[in-house]
Structure 1
Amino acid sequence: MIRTLFKFTVMSLAVTAFSAAMPSLAHAEIRTSSIFSDSMVLQRDKPIRVWGWTDAGSEATVTLAENSVTGTANEDGRFEVSLPAMPAGGPHELSISSGDQTKTFTDVLIGEVWICSGQSNMAWPVNSANDADLEKMTAKYPNIRLISVPQVGTQEPQDDFNGQWQACTPETVPNFSAVGYFFGRQLHQTLDVPIGLIDNAWGGSAAEAWVRRDVLEQDGKYDELLQRWDERAKTYDHEAAMADYRERLAKWQTDKKGNRPAAPRNDLVGQHRPANLYNGVLKPTIGYTVRGVIWYQGESNAGRAYQYRDLFPLMIQSWREEWGQGDFSFYWVQLADFMNEVDEPADSDWAELREAQTMTLALPNTGQAVIVDLGEAADIHPRNKQDVALRLSRLALAKDYAVDVQSQSPTYQSMEVDGDRIRVTFDDAGGDLDTFDVKQPVGFTIAGDDQKFVPAEAQIVDEHTIEVWSKQVKQPVAVRYAWADNPIANVQNTAGLPMTPFRTDQWKGVTEGVVK
């Protein structure tokens, strides 16, 4: 019996040694970001990037239709390959093989892929948009695919998230971005190709939360902002705050006096801290081949509108640089009209934020949907997401797909003083300048050297020119249009796209110098 036990032990050791000598390739485990799943849409007519993780040094072969490409995992186990561009179509299977393991995704379509990002007005769901009941019951588009990235705020870069591509149905659409869905639906109906929509918006998010920390540091304009957050990270104790809250809650439950205490929010893992959303929401999707981004954000940065002049383009450029896909299309929604209408001209941080958004059009392959006619004075979340999406879709259809539709709002180009009047010229008018509601242009103010603006009269001179004047200003030097939180303004082009708010002066604004 001792001899038998000895033989068994020797054989076991031999098997163990043999197994240890075998390369790990045979048991390579394949992992990918959840941006790759069954029912996904891959971007047509562009090289298709696929990445994942397996054993370091192992080969991984990715196959889609008749195309197959092999890459080698680096020391961290990450591999990345680029499949040849393919036309719209499907369904296909995409498989990843490494060693004796194979991971397969089914029902894969090739079409157009867009990221839907920003804060609450992009996150606003179909369930809460105008005519939600009708929109949901007609959302039967099996070739529109949806995926949402959960809200994770962190300083640690993430490589995955909990999500899954799904076909658009009355059951899957209610909680998806309304602007994103209506945008994608218009593209699908116009182009007749599959559409993939990635919703990663987070309500209340600040633009700096979407930017990598080192990018903000290297720029040098955000030191005070970063320092404030660093100090908060050193001093804030969320466990202590929760303990205090539980104590106050227990007392309230006994006494029932006053309002119920509110639980503390841990801003360190929220949507305002610089880099939090870049790391937790955006990073796991970076590199997925896309056509472009639609963006609806700015409300949270309105108090720092001058800073946004640099921050917003920095964000766009940093995304493009890291994506490694060139200057992909980036279209945003300008802030809607909001808060009380005012009778007299006044400073406005929302007007300054709109100006910062317009200035960002200097970047290539960008576009802006002007919606100062679609807001609600008492609600920062206008329910009319359909028209917002249509204006974004006009930009994409015209710029990305060469569809003959008007997409640009009239935009200020230049001014000329003519006696006691100022003539303002606009480009991208898209046909004749026009007005809605009343014939007379409304929304202009004018000022002299004293920088005191007064309401002005105006008339359309030709398809590109408006003349502005006031009997109160004999020597005018500057004109503003729709310069208010909630402007009363009515100029548009003949396609119904409202004129872009503007000012001809560069006088100091209320948010100049505000950096944190």
Structure 2
Amino acid sequence: MVTATGIAPGSEMTAQMEQVEERNVSGVLHIASIFASHMVLQRNKPIAVFGALAADCAGMEVVAEIHDFDGSLIAQEHAYSSQNVVNGFSQWRVMLPAQPEGGPYTLRIVAGNDAIEFDDVLIGEVWLAGGQSNMELELRNSEHADEALEDCADPLLRFYNAPKTGVINRNAENTSSWQESSPENSGVMSAVAYYFARKLRSELDPDLPVGIVDCYIGGTSITCWMSEDALNSSGAGRDYLTRYQRAIAGKTQQQFDLETSDWESQVDEWNANVAAAREADPDIAQEKLNEQFGACPWPPPLTPTSQWRPSGPFHAMLERIMPYSLAGFLWYQGEEDEQYCGFYRELLGMMIGEWRARWSENLPFLIVQLPQWIDKKVDETEGDPMLWPVLREAQWDAAQSIDNVYVICTIDCGEYDNIHPVDKRTPGERLADCALRQVYGMSRIPVYGPTVLGFRCDPNGRVRLFFRYAHGLHFDGTTPGSRGDASVAELPSLVRSPESSGFELAGADGVFHPATAAIFVDCDIDDLVNSRVNVVDYNATEFGIPVNSRSIGTITLATPDVPEPMAMRYAWRSWGPAPLFNDDGLPAQPFRLDLTDHTAPVESVEPVTPDGTAD
């Protein structure tokens, strides 16, 4: 099995650079590096301003002020630095009163005779974009990058890239800055986060600034973004820490340096070869690149300063920007945890809880569910390891069971044999739609694909599924990229043969077989409530159907290979058919059901024969 990892194409890790002047230091006053001119501060909630003072200034007063363009005072607050000295510094935090959107302003921080000012400061909506390589993949390397960059100039859309590192790198922090979206700047912004922010800018008030805090590293496990205390609180987290300790045990610093240097040389050579090949042939396939140059050298060596060690980026990146006031979090990660996918749901819940605790707020958490992908070599030799479906289920479950957590389905996205799909507009805009509806209350924005609500089984081996958000329920395409393709589309769009339906049934032996799937005339809410349906979504009030809902959808499954179905699943593959959509163009969520002990006679379901036609 190939572990799904890697750095996003073209993304640059924080490298060594010439020493630069401390930009957020004045005398005894130190301010966190995320504060800079051109930044966006969060509106309508207290604004956290934080930093440190020299050790001999413990207990000193720190004052933060917001001034308008004419120098008039907008807001002011003060606090005293801690009496506790840690690593030679006394920490302080000032909470400025909540402000509406606006700007440009000046933010001024004063401690004794020392002061620092930041200008061109806006107040609007600020989101943190976190995760690994698919959040990291930059706009300049995404699909239609040239067009996007030509059209990206927007002085009210701004971003801050947290330096990518496994240990605190003050020199890198001193070179970091907030930047306006422009053709010159935005190429190094997360493509997903850019499309998210752009849609927020287009749908919300046109004068409302939007800021993105980019905080990610390709190839990182979820455990890289959690503290040691959190990891040690569970068996799953402790296992990650134990594996890391075993990997570094008995090695000297010289060995760590040599391993890292050798790996960096291999990666540099591989990147140079791939870049040259792509320049010569922009359409060259990933498979061809792998044939010529091999896979990207991975994994990197683990060291006590590695970006990929448990808790490394948490301390070196995330803690450095906590608790910068935010509207919420965007999260696109999971690929690196494929091998231990059975623990992902537990870790995801722990991480969400820790982040919210550190920000002291139940902030919205928006998750990109993993799209489709499989390594070609694995597919052709070992076969599908069926681990990504487990990760997707964990992400979906988190959204169903944790308050203020949401997930967007991307099962219609992805690229075969390329773990870094270049279409980042789809996930970015779906995240934005999710935020617009769930966070900003825009109920007109569609965000739900067909979602299974319940089922009935009959004595003849047929299974009838009931879906909500199923207006215009239909099949389209098979795997990503095939929607609307006449060469692969089947007619009618309401019936699918077993090989392309994405639905599977299993009997008592647990072996799944592809099933014919047929969409029938939608029933209304009364038909569902009055029938003996085994409800899957127990959290749905009145089955989760709004009073004015147009309809719910029904699909009947059958296969002669499974006369007595005990279980079913849909789109339960790393890469495979997932053709079910509603007329909002949103895909059905992958799912699986236990059908045992939930049988009821079906009185009015049209039977489906194995060839997909109605009796």
Give the TM bin, normalised by the shorter chain. Answer: 0.7 to 0.9
Q: 1:49 to 1:298 in 2, by over 3 A?
A: same
Identity, % of aligned positions: 32
- What's the offset of the Cα at 1:432? 4.1
Map residues 256-275 of structure 1 onto 2, 5 A cutoff: 265-268=300-303, 269-275=305-311
Name the structure 2 match of 1:206.
221
Query: What SS is found at the alignment partner of 1:348?
Result: coil
- What's the offset of the Cα at 1:116? 0.9
Question: Are 1:391 and 2:430 matched, yes or no?
Answer: yes
Distance 1:241 1:151 in 2: 19
Of the candidates 388, 392, 405, which is equivalent to residue 350 of structure 1?
A: 388
8 Å contact from structure 1 (residues 41, 113) kept in 2: yes
Question: Are 1:406 and 2:419 matched, yes or no?
Answer: no
8 Å contact from structure 2 (residues 569, 591) kept in 1: yes
- CA offsets 1:274-304 (integer angstroms, 9 cap, x no match): 1111111111111111011111111111121
8 Å contact from structure 2 (residues 567, 595) kept in 1: no
Distance 2:502 2:584 in 1: 19
Name the structure 1 match of 2:526.
none
Name the structure 2 match of 1:320.
356
Q: 1:243 to 1:367 in 2, by over 3 A?
A: closer
Map residues 43-82 of structure 1 onto 2, 5 A cutoff: 43-54=42-53, 55-65=57-67, 66-75=74-83, 76=85, 77-82=90-95
8 Å contact from structure 1 (residues 161, 284) kept in 2: no
Say what the alpha-carbon RMSD is for the aligned residues. 2.8
| Number of residue pairs matched by the alignment | 467
Of the candidates 560, 563, 585, which is equivalent to residue 474 of structure 1?
A: 563
- What's the offset of the Cα at 1:241? 5.5
- What's the offset of the Cα at 1:100? 1.6
- What's the offset of the Cα at 1:124? 0.2
Of the candidates 255, 260, 263, which is equivalent to residue 240 of structure 1?
A: 255
Runs ≥4 in structure 1, deviation > 6 angstroms? Answer: 156-160, 244-249
Question: Are 1:444 and 2:503 matched, yes or no?
Answer: yes
Amino acid of the residue matched to residue 489 of structure 1? A
- What's the offset of the Cα at 1:435? 2.4
Question: Are 1:303 and 2:351 matched, yes or no?
Answer: no
8 Å contact from structure 2 (residues 247, 302) kept in 1: no
Question: Are 1:422 and 2:463 matched, yes or no?
Answer: yes
- What's the offset of the Cα at 1:272? 3.1
- What's the offset of the Cα at 1:244? 8.1
Distance 2:28 2:421 in 1: 47
**TM-score of the superposed pair, with normalisation by structure 1:** 0.85
Distance 2:467 2:261 in 1: 59
8 Å contact from structure 1 (residues 430, 495) kept in 2: no
- CA offsets 1:470-509 (integer angstroms, 9 cap, x no match): 12211111111001111212101221111111111399xx
Q: 1:68 to 1:246 in 2, by over 3 A?
A: closer
Question: Are 1:359 and 2:394 matched, yes or no?
Answer: no
Q: 1:243 to 1:59 in 2, by over 3 A?
A: closer
The answer for unaligned runs of 5 or more in structure 2 is 1-25, 68-73, 266-292, 478-489, 523-551, 597-615
Q: 1:187 to 1:264 in 2, by over 3 A?
A: closer
Q: Which moved more, 1:366-375 or 1:435-444?
A: 435-444
- CA offsets 1:335-382 (integer angstroms, 9 cap, x no match): 11112579xx96601111111111111111111111111111021111
Distance 1:99 1:33 in 2: 18
- CA offsets 1:154-188 (integer angstroms, 9 cap, x no match): 4x799993421111111110111000111101101
The answer for unaligned runs of 5 or more in structure 1 is 1-26, 250-258, 508-516
Map residues 189-228 of structure 1 onto 2, 5 A cutoff: 189-191=202-204, 192=206, 193-228=208-243
**TM-score of the superposed pair, with normalisation by structure 2:** 0.72
Question: Are 1:175 and 2:188 matched, yes or no?
Answer: yes
Query: What SS is found at the alignment partner of 1:31?
Result: strand
Distance 2:504 2:166 in 1: 43
Distance 2:220 2:392 in 1: 17
Q: 1:453 to 1:85 in 2, by over 3 A?
A: same
Distance 1:244 1:311 in 2: 29
Q: 1:412 to 1:346 in 2, by over 3 A?
A: farther
